[in-house]
Amino acid sequence: MPGADTGWFESYVPRVMKEHEQRGKEPFSLHAELLVENKIPTFSCAMVKADSISTCTFEAPVPRWLDWWLWAQIAQDGSFAFLPEKCTLWRIHSGSFNHKISFFRYLRDGSSLWRGFQRILLPACKQRGATREVSFLACPFWMRLVVRFWAIAREEGPIRTIHRILQRIK
């Protein structure tokens, strides 16, 4: 739609979909991956069993990231599967919750979400014996940013990644 920022979409969605395609159609875990970034771009592309979501808290520290908040909780006890068929259309518009948020707001909100993940996911990960996730959740928020940058830069290159970040957070 006019005025919409599509740069993030053109980078993020194809990269995440490529990761899922490489996994194939067999069920897979997203325990650790969802701590780094939201690997499920929108609610309209998923089906979830009612009992999986009934135990989740909907009180997301950052309401516009409720989907990511819920996926991270569901991933603790569930697995995911990917179907490559396009089943929805995505409308991108300038009034989106995530459209051109400021760099400082992104950092503040990301830190808030991270503390929420630590609060609700760390006990579950410890109980499950998920040492990798426990170690990562014990890290400060900035460490998640470094890991995410590295993951994106590995795919797109560091210069292009920096350029996309700067475009997104103007």
pLDDT tens track for 51-76: 888 989 999 999 988 999 999 999 98
DSSP code of residue 28:
B
Report the alpha-carbon distance of residue 100 to residue 169 in Å, rounded.
Answer: 6
Secondary structure tally for the chain: helices H, strands E? 8, 0
Identify which has the larger pLDDT, 114 or 6.
Answer: 114
Largest CA distance in the chain: 48
Q: CA-CA distance, 54 to 47, in Å (whole number)? A: 14
| pTM of the predicted structure, to 2 decimals | 0.83
User: Quick check: is 62 in a domain?
Assistant: yes
Q: For the residues 14-29, what does the mean pLDDT come to?
A: 86
| Residue percentage of the chain with pLDDT more than 70 | 84
What residue numbers bound the domain in which 22 lies? Answer: 7-168
Residue 157 lies in a domain: yes
CB 128 within 8 A of CB 32: no
Q: Is the pLDDT of residue 146 over 80?
A: yes
Residue of higher predicted confidence among 60 and 17: 60
55: in domain? yes
170: burial class by Cβ within 10 Å (0-12, 13-18, 19+)? exposed
2: in domain: no
Asked if residue 1 belongs to a domain, the reply is no
Burial of 125 by CB count in 10 Å (0-12 exposed, 13-18 middle, 19+ buried)?
Answer: buried
Does residue 134 sit within a domain?
yes
What total number of domains does the chain contain?
A: 1
Place of tokens 């089943």: 87
